[in-house]
Structure 1
């Protein structure tokens, strides 16, 4: 599994968007904690999937700055099992006008920490890299031997940005420019492009109105 595409649930606002799911051990406890921290639980925890073998339990929340997301307690569906390969989920960034306020919510809720030595806006959970090494990515520490300590623990980005707080979802592509061309042929609109030190990205809006980022891994030659 790499992502999900579904029609809006009954009773919701019908917004077309890519949503970020945040893994938790106990969705009922996490939803209650989100409310205590000033967030809104826009739909109560509920089982998702067939009776007797639920894919998981989910709650929809909105953080105190207005950014919606989902809390996910895994059942048979653990989440994205492939990432960073072309065509799969790459990263989720919280874009917010107030980074400190965001951390006052997501820190106590999810155990997130942010340190500038990992790069702008990187949020991490201590021990997450060790978890990946034990489970789905046994070579993560060797592969990241030359990056700053703790980078394997990064789970999301929290970046200062103008406008309302929102989650930005990036998908990996092998060739950003070719992917942009293909997206435009299918009716997408290009909103912005950026050539960074480690990636080439394009923010697009699909024909249905959902925004997403196409991200091509493009490290400096000294890294290769």
Structure 2
């Protein structure tokens, strides 16, 4: 595993909010081999970093109150949290939590795009975010589900400088040639998936997608989309749900293929809409 930090305006961290963080540590330990390391400071509110070996890969925290949804959230690295917040508002987004200093670690804010999908921003100081990206059992992709695709395609390039790669099959996001995310139109999805609120979902790279899905099911999680190969690519994906209801994706190489990871652990994923 190669330790690294995310480039500015790309995903740097993923956080899980659940009623029972201890149960989440057991589940994700079973699925990804993570272990939890809880900040002992009372003012940290039980914030727990997931570690893979000695490297930080994600985090879990208790719900603030009963109105907060159980969910995974994604965080984007920024150089200036206040300036990014202003740009978000100028392009039709909303401020859910203004940038706030977190000890000596950095500045954290929660914003929403014009379609209502929330995301966090992180201006790093002592802590840069995930220390492993794109390697097995770490964050490797983010995906936006929205009902207003044209609005999303205007907002994110304007605020973060992302390039878009459009096709009839799937839309991808990139920055400086690195592909790191995608977009799904909720209006095109069948059944209950179409009723979901706009959101961002993390995908974690794994060595074996089928094994990860089996581990999730054995640990009382759910398999929302069974493992399947991505047409025209060397990848296999699945969408899972933990026992407390948080949804996340996994992806990895098809079993017959060689490892397709590259570029220092970052992965170009051309995935279909789950």
TM bin (shorter chain): 0.7 to 0.9
Query: What corresponds to 2:252 in structure 1?
Result: 216
Report the CA distance shift for 1:104/1:187 in structure 2 as closer, same or farther (over 3 A). same
2:208 pairs with 1:158: no
The normalised TM-score by structure 2 is 0.64
SS for the counterpart of 2:72 is coil
Report the CA distance shift for 1:220/1:108 in structure 2 as closer, same or farther (over 3 A). farther
Q: CA shift at 1:69, angstroms? A: 0.6
Equivalent residues, number:
193
Question: Does the 8 A contact of 1:60 with 1:71 survive in 2?
Answer: yes
214, 219, 240: which one aligns with 1:181: 214
Aligned-CA RMSD value: 2.3
**Worse overlay, 18-27 or 190-199:** 190-199
2:154 pairs with 1:104: yes
Query: What corresponds to 1:32 in structure 2?
Result: 86
Question: Does the 8 A contact of 2:140 with 2:180 survive in 1?
Answer: no
2:67 pairs with 1:13: yes
Question: Does the 8 A contact of 1:198 with 1:219 survive in 2?
Answer: no
Report the CA distance shift for 1:157/1:219 in structure 2 as closer, same or farther (over 3 A). farther
What does 1:58-97 correspond to in 2, within 5 Å? 58-97=108-147
114, 125, 128: which one aligns with 2:164: 114
Give me the whole-angstrom Cα distance separating, in 1, the residues matched to 2:112 and 2:78.
16
Query: What corresponds to 2:201 in structure 1?
Result: 168
89, 96, 105: which one aligns with 1:55: 105
Query: What corresponds to 2:240 in structure 1?
Result: 204
Give me the whole-angstrom Cα distance separating, in 1, the residues matched to 2:63 and 2:128.
21
Give me the whole-angstrom Cα distance separating, in 2, the residues matched to 1:27 and 1:9.
22
**Worse overlay, 164-173 or 19-28:** 164-173
SS for the counterpart of 2:62 is coil
Report the CA distance shift for 1:7/1:221 in structure 2 as closer, same or farther (over 3 A). closer
Question: Does the 8 A contact of 1:89 with 1:171 survive in 2?
Answer: yes
SS for the counterpart of 1:3 is strand
What does 1:122-137 correspond to in 2, within 5 Å? 122-126=172-176
Over 6 Å off, 4+ runs: none
Give me the whole-angstrom Cα distance separating, in 2, the residues matched to 1:115 and 1:185.
37
Gaps of 5+ in 2: 1-55, 188-193, 261-274
Report the CA distance shift for 1:201/1:222 in structure 2 as closer, same or farther (over 3 A). closer
Give me the whole-angstrom Cα distance separating, in 1, the residues matched to 2:107 and 2:222.
34
Gaps of 5+ in 1: 127-149
Answer 1 or 2: which has greater strand percent. 2
**Worse overlay, 93-102 or 30-39:** 93-102
Give me the whole-angstrom Cα distance separating, in 2, the residues matched to 1:180 and 1:202.
7
- Which deviations, in whole Å up to 9, do the C-alpha atoms of 1:59-112 show, x marking residues without a partner? 101111111110111111111121222211111011223322102111111011
